[in-house]
Structure 1
């Protein structure tokens, strides 16, 4: 009994560790997604007959390409194939994205992650409808959204207090703006020097507020909020979480 109790005390806090996610050496062409998506489906759903696989493209994304693959009309078992936007890896740490995806899943805040591949990942389809600005004004819905956001904000990786990554990400973005994006910026956007001075001001004034460091979604467009009227739940999809 003492040995068992001692082993229990050594267990890490929080939800159990997520299982390793399969990684396939497949690259999906952004301009011709379906052939690569079907190759992935053969790996993930080998019992599906290729001639029965149906697909549906989603066009709400700004940078990523997304296609659903399924065989049943009700899309009960549906695999979403997300192809990363070109050069988005310059700003998004893909390894951290997968770790955070699994962490969110362990806390009931994300769908199942089926696999990763060379330029994207596959995950579970969430039933419901993507909301628009007219929907999120409804008190019943914005309360559900707030509850889901609060769940994400209370997550601590491995039971430890998170360290902020905000300043690092902003500096990284400014470096990209200077070296990669600057010529294509709109005339309405302030010069990089102006933005950098504002960043200095923020770094001086925000830390003394001692605001809690929490997980954030970072991509909370209306279309990334899925409402399931049958279950009465709201889910936040495509998280780009950081602290």
Structure 2
């Protein structure tokens, strides 16, 4: 069982909008959400930018020229990703991080995604993280994240093995391509996992580290 995440007392209630966004037509769905989130915007003047770096989710930014700093990000979850990702825990993590100044503001959820604040900055590359000045800022930010108490006094347990078991319960046990079947089976991989469970587990993140005006943020 995964460690329960406790949202800080006083955190705003997440608004839920009953809209489904077609992952193959994100722009139209995003405009419907903008009508709810930014009712003062002239819909005819709303511009969109599709971000293409994601592999499972679709992400589009919405803004108007008169307020270019106010960008609403619309993230559409990839099909069937909820089988692996605990969306409820994801939202709680979002709220906890935002309450501690480590994540953007969450505007709402919709049937198959979320809308949240765009944070200005540049994603750091391999050369940037070697910069002595930025390195210290990154270390400071990561230490701040690790110091967050999100489990109501409980010592959190790593969910790595829980996720791995869930993954193996979903993957195919054989393939139509016989050459693929010749590779190691899921059973063999499970056996290998048993041999490494005694090893230490580190917290990792796939989120971009952003840098802007000498401020580091982990989102």
- Given the two structures, how large is their TM-score scaled by the length of structure 1? 0.77
Q: How do 1:3-152 residues align onto structure 2 when only pairs under 5 Å count?
A: 16-72=9-65, 75-152=68-145
Flag the 1:103–1:189 CA change in 2: closer, same or farther, 3 A. Answer: farther
1:33 CA drift (Å): 0.5
Determine if contact 2:7/2:96 at 8 Å carries over to the other structure.
no
1:176-191 aligned within 5 A: 176-178=170-172, 183=175, 190-191=184-185
The answer to whether the Cα contact below 8 Å between 1:30 and 1:83 also exists between their aligned partners in 2 is: yes
Q: Which residue of 2 aligns with 1:236?
A: 218
Gaps of 5+ in 2: 1-5
Q: Relative to 1, partners in 2 of residues 1:92 and 1:76: Cα closer, same or farther, differing over 3 Å? A: same
Greater RCO structure (CA 8 Å; 6+ sep): 2
Q: Indicate the residue corresponding to 2:209 in structure 1.
A: 225
Give the distance between the partners of 2:153 and 2:176, measured in 1 at CA: 41
CA distance in 2, matches of 1:153, 1:184: 45
Structure 1 residue 16: Cα displacement: 3.8
- Corresponding pairs, count: 211
Larger relative helix fraction: 1
Q: Deviations over 1:77-131 (max 9, x none)?
A: 1110011111111100111111111011111111000000011000000001122
Matched-pair contact (CA < 8 Å) for 1:80–1:124: yes
